[in-house]
């Protein structure tokens, strides 16, 4: 098996070196860039198997690096973000980043995500149709079906459902979900998300009072149920 190459783009040198050392010990070839520009150049030269990308970079922002990568490649991207960068995190996921890790993070957690993302993306592309339980979400056709029957969803409800379905098992705060929908709703109140979720549940849940697809995470927000019912 050929050694996987990981490109780490992170301006905090100490963090970059620690990540490099740890991932090398895990058996990866690791190259480091300290700026967005350098990261983009190295990406083109190396054609790495995965990119660990800090968002807050001097000069070219991490989101811009992600955008350039996504224009021509499906290389998995794991973002490094601060807890306060919710909007960027969501923008990054929307732009096609595969996962994120919030600073401060443990090296073991990052390595686990690198492994998981590489496993998940190995020889696959982003599916256009996502199936969870009896639910089918066709991202290209912007259609959702429940047990074969076409669901009558508003554009916002479809966007919310599609966002959930693309990130199963991840917990999102109301504010993050709002950011994900912002272009469509112009709403600013996190509680707006609750009413969208409520309406969606009435359309997709067998029992809206006891939801099995969109789960409430008390005190935090919501998450979509993982594919294998786990
Ligand atoms: Ca930084």
The pLDDT tens digits of the residues spanning 168-199 come to 888 888 888 887 776 555 666 778 899 999 99
Gap from CA of 212 to ligand 1 centroid (Å): 38
Buried b (16+ CB within 10 A) or exposed e, 170-203: eebbbbbbbbbbeeebeeeeeebbeebbebbbee
CA distance 11 to 218: 36
Neighbours of ion ligand 1 (CB under 5 A): 11, 54, 56
Q: Is the pLDDT of residue 122 over 80?
A: no
Gap from CA of 53 to ligand 1 centroid (Å): 9
pLDDT at 229: 44
| Domains (range + CATH), the chain | 5-120 (3.40.50.2300), 126-224 (1.10.10.10)
- For 144-156, what is each residue's pLDDT tens digit? 999 989 999 998 8
CA distance 34 to 91: 22
Contact 57, 9 (CB under 8 A): yes
Mean pLDDT of 32-44: 95
- For 124-167, what is each residue's pLDDT tens digit? 555 678 888 899 999 878 999 999 899 999 988 998 999 898 88
Gap from CA of 192 to ligand 1 centroid (Å): 32
pTM score > 0.75 for this model?
no
Gap from CA of 11 to ligand 1 centroid (Å): 5
Mean pLDDT of 61-71: 92
Gap from CA of 115 to ligand 1 centroid (Å): 23
9 strand-pairing partners: 33, 53
Gap from CA of 222 to ligand 1 centroid (Å): 28
CA neighbor of 214 nearest in space, from 159, 150, 168, 154: 168
What's the chain's average pLDDT?
A: 88
């Amino acid at each position: 098996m050929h050694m996987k190459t990981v490109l780490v783009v992170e301006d905090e040198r100490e963090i970059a070196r620690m990540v490099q050392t740890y991932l090398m010990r895990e058996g990866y070839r690791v190259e480091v860039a300290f700026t967005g520009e350098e990261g983009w150049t190295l990406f083109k030269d190396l054609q790495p198997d995965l990119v660990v990308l800090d968002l807050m970079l001097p000069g070219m922002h991490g989101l811009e690096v992600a955008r350039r990568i996504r224009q021509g490649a499906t290389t998995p991207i794991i973002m490094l973000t601060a807890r306060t960068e919710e909007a960027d995190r969501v923008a990054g996921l929307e732009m096609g980043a595969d996962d994120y890790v919030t600073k401060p993070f443990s090296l073991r957690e990052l390595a686990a995500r690198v492994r998981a993302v590489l496993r998940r993306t190995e020889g696959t592309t982003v599916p256009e149709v996502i199936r969870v339980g009896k639910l089918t979400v066709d991202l290209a056709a912007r259609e959702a079906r429940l047990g074969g029957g076409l669901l009558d969803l508003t554009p916002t409800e479809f966007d919310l459902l599609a966002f959930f379905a693309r990130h199963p098992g991840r917990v999102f705060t109301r504010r993050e979900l709002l950011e994900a929908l912002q272009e469509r709703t112009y709403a600013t109140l996190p509680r707006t998300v609750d009413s969208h979720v409520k309406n969606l549940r009435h359309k997709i849940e067998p029992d809206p009072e006891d939801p099995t697809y969109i789960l409430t995470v008390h005190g935090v927000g919501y998450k979509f149920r993982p594919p294998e019912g786990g």
